[in-house]
Amino acid sequence: IPFDDIIAIEKAIQSIKLHFVFNEGTGKSDMYLNDENVEAAIREMKVSQKVSEVAAIPVVRDFAVAQQQAMGLEKGIVMDGRDIGTVVFPNAELKLFVTADPLVRAKRRFIELQATQPSITMEEVAENLSHRDLMDSTREHSPLKQAEDALVLDNTDLNQEEQFNIALKWAKERIMA
């Protein structure tokens, strides 16, 4: 569907059903689109190259926000996204604004993508992240920005366990408050 064909996009959105299914093999939840596991597909570079452009379409943003809010109705959910703390869950119990040095982010994403796309270059990944950051932070509808009440977690020099421990500490502090 061409990105400027709003009528076709609105019609297509009506047939989309998104949900998570726990994957025992990976120990993580996979994203399903109309009962098809799309977890690997949504992580591909070809998706990353278009996601900001698609996310800037107001009807798509509205649909995505509604889907995410429905997933979070029962609480106990951890979500990441560029407008999660400001638009999707402005009243969340705990908001983390996770950041890192752009080069470190690019290296991490490069390693992730290399497993399935061996021909990808570090330069392509760095350029894509920079472009997405610019597009997402300057879009009019649901822009990427830090929520005023978010705690900043700069993970430039942290491993996953260290990040988890900081987030867990902050979560426990919020529960006790």
Tens-digit pLDDT profile for residues 63-101:
999 988 988 887 778 888 888 999 999 999 899 999 999
18-23 and 96-99 beta bridge pairing: unpaired
What three-state secondary structure class fits 72? coil
Distance of alpha carbon 39 from alpha carbon 53, whole angstroms: 20
Instruction: Provide the pLDDT for residue 37.
Output: 97
Phi, psi at 61, each rounded to 5°: -60, -45
Task: Output the CA–CA distances (angstroms, integers) from residue 136 to 20, 162, 165, in the order listed.
Answer: 24, 28, 29
What three-state secondary structure class fits 67? helix
Range among 44-53, 76-85, 99-108 rated most confident: 99-108
Instruction: Provide the pLDDT for residue 54.
Output: 92
Instruction: Provide the pLDDT for residue 176.
Output: 86
Tokens representing residue 154 in the block: 């700069």
pTM score, two decimals? Answer: 0.76
Residue 107 near residue 122, CB atoms below 8 Å: yes
What is the share, in percent, of the chain residues with pLDDT greater than 90?
72
Residues 51-57, mean pLDDT to the nearest whole number:
89
Instruction: Provide the pLDDT for residue 71.
Output: 85
- Mean residue pLDDT of the chain comes to 92
